[in-house]
Structure 1
Amino acid sequence: MALSDPQPNSPPDLPPGLPPDPEPKPRKPPAHPPPGTRDAVAGRLAPRRTRFGRLARAVTSPYYRYRHAKFFHSLRVGLAMLVSILATTGIDIPHGIWSSVTLLVVIGGLQHHGNIRKKAAERAAGTLLGAALGLALILQQNLFDSLTLTYVLMSVLAAICAWFAIGSAGYVALLTAITMCIVAGHGDNMIDTGLWRTLNVLVGIVIALAFSFALPLHATYSWRYLLADNLRECARIYTRMMTGVPIGADEQVAVFIRMGKRLVQLRSLMPSVAKEIDLPIAKLDQIQGLHRSMLSALEMLSTGTLAHAELRDAFAQQCGEEANAVRMTLLGAARALRFAGTTHFRMPDAAASFEAMTPENKTSPDLQGPLWLAQRFAEQVERMRSLLAATEANWNIEGGAREAAAR
């Protein structure tokens, strides 16, 4: 006779005459969990910041300042203007308006720290030279009392400044001519007026330079974040192509327009970045040129043979770990630029994997072109990784600050 399985909740056999035990009542969960026990997910969440903590985070976070650069720039210029007014007009320094004018010339349209330092130095050189010429014109007017001679001399000096204004020292030459006119007027200013105006211009330069160190907007951060955005976008487009996911024509155009705009912005930031991190601009040019080549290779891949569905699917079937290695390298480089200090990313086998996909492996003739481009793109990604890793000590400002604090 077969034995039946025991019921999981069947009561044990009881002696005759004894009533069975009452069924246990289900226990109610406690109204409040005991102290020290929290939900596993909630336990991993960071505590909410206070209002002061959020404000401190906004002020100290480079990424936050990058995202709200216009606000911080306008706040800095407004505070600098207030200080300029109080430092001159507030204590009744004659011709104090020229301090505010100089302040706006130096930092009004320049938000990056490297640019401000460069322009302030050029402004100081042009101001000193222009003030000296202006005072010399006032002296000769007082000696010879000839407005005709003064006008001729001013015109000659302006022509000389214009000659040098078209060149590497253009800003200094232009400011020399402007300051000469501010100090001397048309030769009818008094010597004390010229001296006061020279002093106010120098005060404006000092205030502008001081405020350039308050909540600095480093061009290096903008360069890093823009490049990281483009590398992340490259990884997304590349992954879709390597896995056979179609990309709409409108979406494709929009993506490459966005990346092209960032590429142009990166080019304009390079002089300031080179001054901020003491990196030769030739190195930045090398990274920029390589990045431009990567975008070109991606665009050729997406608009060429892989634009056809049947060839795209056939190509995706031949891409495996090598495509994932390229993708992970792009994302690793983007993360390193975004957060800094995470540049230990490598792609040792990606290019070799693509090299293995050659016509000898019975690759279709229609896919030989995309395969060649994919090989070149993998090589470019690896070169980009190597360049970023080699220059990390320069663009990793956070790491440099930590090392300086440790010393």
Structure 2
Amino acid sequence: MRYARRLSRPLMDPHRRYQNAKFIHATRVALGILITIAFSSIARLPHAEWSTISLIIVIGGLQHHGNIRKRAAERALGTIIGAVYGLLIILQQSYFGLFPLTYLLMAVGCGVCAYHAIGKGGYIALLSAVTLVIVAGHGDNQFDEGLWRAINVFIGIVVALLLSFALPLYATYSWRFKLADTLRGCARVHERIVQHEPISNEEHLKEMARLGSALVQLRSLIPSVSKEVHMPVARLESVQRSLRIVISCLEILSSSTADRPVDASETAADSPAGTRPGHGSHVSDMLYGMARALKSGSARRLASPPRNGAQDLSASGTVAGMLATEVEQIRATLAGTASRWAV
């Protein structure tokens, strides 16, 4: 039993799951395929391939638990709408045999779905149209055939939803660890600026591009994180906004030192504001502290380090002052919401 717990410990660790997210996702999809094939073969379900197709559609391109639940619910609703309409078309064709009317009803149904597919709820509308065609064919499917196809689609949805609970990959994990990496990157840039480490303009642009790319990735995770931890989007957006300002301030400060020769005789007073040795240790300490807190899930690491009042005063009203203010804002927001994301 102790040996089993030791083996399972890495799988329970959020950071390990984050690092191996692609492997876990691929394993889960492969397991889902085996389950749907085995179940369909044992139960001898007709048109069983639609269970597998449905599972791939629901979880094939999604790894986060919250997204899978949302996609499964949308697919279930779309399947119900499309299946019911498709079965009604089959009944119409079976009783009246009017192919022109059947084609017209299918065209109208798909047209209505296409109208709603552009905008909110678009995925539901799109899946309704797809399920309509799957169930009804071109109107010449038998009623029991269309019904079995609809049932198989639901089986795929159920299997996908159940598998989303097996070693779930939460968007919150990705947000936490990507944010930690980004804050650590900001701290390294800030230390380089303060210590006047030489950097070429090309390297400076690459450095800023990496931080900008991370910012975009974090922004895409906010809706899912908000649903998973039940935290208002506005709180997450405030972190995003402050981080964007931090990166902008670092870019301004870094631009003033990129490709700038360092004269040994240059005095501290001649250095750009906020880039004097020892001046920015408080900012760097906070950035590293937040990164460690996000990675470990420990809110204690979010305590603000002691400040040097004179240094903070000299930075007020400058780019460095804005940088310090926004870093403190991120720290305060993370500390106030730690009970939600530190899981």
Q: 1:133 to 1:327 in 2, by over 3 A?
A: same
C-alpha contact (below 8 Å) 1:351/1:375 kept by paired residues: no
Equivalent residue in structure 2 for 1:158, among 91, 110, 129 = 110
1:8-41 CA-to-partner distances (Å, cap 9, x unmatched) read xxxxxxxxxxxxxxxxxxxxxxxxxxxxxxxxxx
Q: Percent identity?
A: 46
Cα shift at 1:119: 0.4
SS in structure 2 of the partner of residue 193 of structure 1: helix
Q: Which residue is 1:78 aligned to?
A: 30
Q: How does 1:203-222 map to 2 (within 5 A)?
A: 203-222=155-174
Q: Residues 306, 347 of structure 1: CA spacing in aligned structure 2 closer, same or farther, 3 A cutoff?
A: farther
More helix by share: 2
Say whether residues 1:335 and 2:292 are aligned partners: yes
**Cα deviation code 1:226-285 (max 9, x no counterpart):** 010010111111012112222333432332222222112111211211111111222222
Residue 68 of structure 2 aligns with which residue? Answer: 116
Report how many aligned residue pairs link the two structures.
Answer: 336
Q: SS in structure 1 opposite 2:184?
A: helix
Q: Distance in 2 between matches of 1:318 and 1:175?
A: 56
Q: Pairwise mapping of residues 272-283 of structure 1 onto structure 2 (< 5 A)?
A: 272-283=224-235
Larger relative contact order (CA 8 Å, sep ≥ 6): 2
- Secondary structure at the residue paired with 1:247? coil
Q: TM-score normalised to the size of structure 2?
A: 0.91
**Contact conserved, 1:164 with 1:173, CA < 8 A, in 2?**
yes
Contact persistence 2:55–2:159 (CA under 8 A): yes
Provide the rounded CA distance (Å) in 2 between the counterparts of 1:163 and 1:186. Answer: 21
Q: Secondary structure at the match of 2:199?
A: coil
Matched-pair contact (CA < 8 Å) for 1:350–1:378: no
Please give the alpha-carbon distance, in whole angstroms, between the structure 1 residues aligned to 2:254 and 2:322. Answer: 15
Work out whether residues 126 and 175 of structure 1, in 8 Å CA contact, stay in contact via their aligned partners in 2. yes
Q: Look up the match of 2:271.
A: 315
Residues 1:392 and 2:338 are matched in the alignment:
yes
Runs of 4+ aligned structure 1 residues displaced above 6 Å come to none
After superposition, residues 71-110 of structure 1 pair within 5 angstroms as 71-110=23-62
SS, match of residue 197 in structure 1: helix
Equivalent pair of 1:88/1:96 in contact (CA under 8 Å): yes
Task: Name the CA shift for 1:117/1:306 in 2 (closer, same or farther; >3 Å).
Answer: same
Does structure 2 conserve the Cα–Cα contact (< 8 Å) formed by 1:234 and 1:330? yes
Give the aligned CA root-mean-square deviation in angstroms.
2.3
Q: CA deviation at 1:324?
A: 1.1
Within a 5 Å distance, the mapping from 1:185-334 to structure 2 comes to: 185-304=137-256, 308=260, 309-310=262-263, 314-315=270-271, 319=276, 322-334=279-291
Gaps of 5+ in 2: none
The one-letter amino acid of 1:238's match is H
Match of 1:129 among 61, 67, 81: 81
Q: Residue type of the partner of 1:129? A: I
Deviation at 1:153, TM superposition (A): 0.7
Counterpart for residue 353 of structure 1: 311
Work out which of the two has the higher radius of gyration on C-alpha atoms and give 1 or 2. Answer: 1
Letter in 2 for 1:354: D
Superposition TM-score, scaled by structure 1 size: 0.77
